[in-house]
Structure 1
Amino acid sequence: MAGVGRRPRARSQRRPPGPPVRRRGRAPRGARVGARSGARGSCWFSPSAAGSPELVAHLDVTPENVVFRDGSAAALIDFDLARPATRVEELANVLLWWSPWMPDDDREEALRGVDPFERGWMIVEEYGLEAAGRARLVEVSQNVAERSWFSMRRRAETLGGGWARMWDEGVGDKILRRQGWLAENAPALERCVRP
């Protein structure tokens, strides 16, 4: 009853729940954006190689986030990673999970043994990515993999919950294996996505 009769604060004066929101483009205190000292954790992410955003992208089109009905994709869920991005970034995410551009042992069971080069070519063709985007696709995929290691670790440390569980279950190691796979297969991947 303490608040009865009081006039509520103006909406602009209310403090939002949770931690303070950082101004866009600012790194957490003490972080060095893009810094590379050789030690994991020296920066919280590396700069994006993708360029200026073109659309709001989902950026988490994993098999777990696609709802299937009668064997066909019916819905896309879980938009917590959606943000302004490029078409190349969104396609790099799709290729990661659905080509899949990762070591065979780290793939979803249904996608083990799939030819990532043939599948990658088909996805890029159907997506209709222009030649300039295709030329950057492998580089952006490698950059996304590098950035995701830092991003996942930071979310595990700061948000806990499912992020911490995934980190504890070895997602960081899985991302490092993906980085190695992408580096090893970069020339073949570049050939398969070119028109």
Structure 2
Amino acid sequence: MTATDIRNETSVPVSSPLAHRWSPRSLDGAHVLSADDLTALGEAARWAPSAMNLQPTRFIVARRGTDTFAKIAESLAGFNQVWAPRASALVVALAETERDGRPVRWAEYDLGQAVAHLTIEAADRGLVTHQMGGFDVDQLRSVFRIDKALTPVTVIAVGQYDPTADIDEAVRERDLEPRTRRELDDLTLILDI
């Protein structure tokens, strides 16, 4: 299976990047993310909707082979350290939860939209992303001297899927597990149409 195969069974057709998007861990450890691809992912995140146009999102972006990449990879927890270092890039997504001494209540929501746009742009370019919650927030704060107004929310691995990658068998097994989602009706609390 390739990253271009339709992976997501939907009740009606959806746009191609949504139909193809998934989060594998079997990444091509030799793939180099082009400058254009990296810029496009940033542009997709930049143009995501933002409440009051505050844009309370920040990113630490690092390509594999850099000191910044190594520092991000070192902050990853357990299983993520097994596969994520093969990513072409690691991205720390941060929400600006405070501005001018006032809380930004919707910062994490806006960050989620920015990351969603980034992942869809990646899928449209034939890339894959995998978001991780398993990382040491305090370690990232210390290493990158992250201001208290910024909250690291997720680390995103970006790369090229490689089903033949020489990876741990547990990683391969997780990638091959059938994809499931709750039924659409389960997501709707009230439907008045």
TM-score w.r.t. structure 1 length? 0.26
> Could you say which structure has the greater relative contact order, defined with CA pairs below 8 angstroms and 6 or more residues apart?
2
TM-score w.r.t. structure 2 length? 0.27
Q: Pick the structure with more helix per residue.
A: 1
Higher-Rg member (1/2): 1
